Structure 1
Amino acid sequence: MSAILLVEDDPSVRTGLELALTRQGHSVTACATGEEGLEHARARRPEIVILDVMLPGIDGFEFCRRVRRTDQMPIILLTARSDNLDVVVGLEAGADDYVIKPVEPAVLDARIRAVLRRAVGGTADRSTYGDLVIDRGALRVSRAGADVHLTPTELRLLLELTRHPGQVLSRSHLLRSVWDHGYAGDSRLVDASVQRLRAKVERDAAAPTLIQTVRGFGYRFVAP
């Protein structure tokens, strides 16, 4: 059973998802506004947040940004549109995944479980790449002696890239291995997460040396 914070302003959608997720065995706290959701997130520390994008007041994008300033709890966005800009903005704001409404409860439950598996996954060893240190056992990353705070998805992405140093990993490979479910070529998840990851682990995200783009193919991790 997972402790879920559901933030959705539509009463019928909120009630339906709350009931369905409860039947799936989760403990659900439901809120109607971003402001209320932030209060619950800070006070109750849920295992995962299911977050509508279009909220009155603080919308889903701003909610993500505020949470990410201090916390790496997993976030799945609920969006009524598959518009590229909405999806990219949400991922860049710090969301780990997204689903398009209307969504089947079983599908949402599968996404929740996949994101939570990513949050606790890892293998035990320690690797050093210049001033970047990855402790796979403790699931901690540091650069120049300072902790690097990564979301579960960013951490899984970094772990996967560093497991294959020098190899080009396609976006489809990363979608399968990092996101743990099949997308039909939706590379936006990969590209947005790589951009966020570079901002945290590269000395200069505009001129990355560790995580390199191989145009037309994907990404590779280059050890110094």
Structure 2
Amino acid sequence: MQQQQLKGVKILLVDDEPTILQFLELGLLNEGFDVQTAQDGITAFTVAQQFQPHVAVLDVMMPGMDGFEVCKLLKKLGPIAVIMLTARDEVDDRVRGLTLGADDYMAKPFSFEELLARIHARIRNQFPNLLAEQSIGPFRIDDRRKEISYDGRVLELSPTEYELLKFLVINQGIVLSKAMILDKVWGYDFGGEENIVEVYIRSLRDKLGDKEHRLIRTLRGAGYRVDLT
């Protein structure tokens, strides 16, 4: 489980299914978030204006004003990170949502642990000032000192190894493709080969003592995933 020192992180949950809404609300309250809920788009926008959430978890299929329209309105309020939820996993839906400014997209059904990991990733990427040092499983990330500790031991990492391991750990539980890793760690204009990711992953495994690849897993044809459970 990812533990972070949170300073008033506010989450807005929007879903027209009361059971889902209550389940997510209880789970996120238990994680220490400040949570507000809404069951329709108009209420969501009204609540957001007063609440000013950092992250909105937003269902797409709602009566009246759908999630796409709500996303567009929320983005006009300020730098709100929007994670869209839908029962339909259609490419056109994902493209439309991302075009309107959504920051992430999840298809139902989903696990609470994955949603939590994605919320933490959005906070870390878009609101780093809300986080102090992060403790994620056996890892401790100190961005100010550019240090990562594993099981209490400070790892000797190059700047690129630090950024790669941080990206993997912060997104623990999520499969990250080589293309995504290259974009986030090396930059979109990186002109080298994708194989550089494999080289750095191998080095990190050596430094972590992860000989059996149980910590940094390879999913053939998909990418890499850090497993901390």
- Normalising by the smaller structure, the TM-score range is 0.5 to 0.7
1:185 is displaced (CA, Å) by 5.0
CA distance in 2, matches of 1:87, 1:164: 21
Identity rate, percent: 34
**Which deviations, in whole Å up to 9, do the C-alpha atoms of 1:162-194 show, x marking residues without a partner?**
857562686xx7xxxxxxxx99759xxxxxxxx
Q: For residues 128-139 of structure 1, what are the structure 2 equivalents within 5 Å? A: none
Of 46, 58, 61, which residue of structure 2 is paired with 1:51? Answer: 58
Residue in structure 2 matched with residue 41 of structure 1 by the alignment = 48
Residue in structure 2 matched with residue 85 of structure 1 by the alignment = 92
Pairwise CA RMSD: 3.2
> Is contact 1:161–1:169 with CA below 8 Å preserved after alignment?
no
Residue in structure 2 matched with residue 65 of structure 1 by the alignment = 72
**Which deviations, in whole Å up to 9, do the C-alpha atoms of 1:69-124 show, x marking residues without a partner?**
34221000011121111111111111000111122211111110001111035999
Residue in structure 1 matched with residue 107 of structure 2 by the alignment = 100
Larger radius of gyration: 2
CA distance in 2, matches of 1:165, 1:33: 41
Residue in structure 2 matched with residue 110 of structure 1 by the alignment = 117
> Is contact 1:5–1:30 with CA below 8 Å preserved after alignment?
yes
CA distance in 2, matches of 1:169, 1:28: 43
2:27 is paired with a residue of what secondary structure?
helix
TM score, norm. by length of structure 2:
0.54
> Is contact 2:14–2:41 with CA below 8 Å preserved after alignment?
yes
CA distance in 2, matches of 1:50, 1:24: 15
Number of equivalent positions: 144
CA distance in 2, matches of 1:61, 1:168: 37
CA distance in 1, matches of 2:222, 2:42: 35
1:69 is paired with a residue of what secondary structure?
helix
Is the aligned partner of 1:8 residue 2:15?
Answer: yes
Residue in structure 1 matched with residue 82 of structure 2 by the alignment = 75
Is the aligned partner of 1:167 residue 2:191?
Answer: yes
CA distance in 1, matches of 2:122, 2:34: 16
TM score, norm. by length of structure 1:
0.55
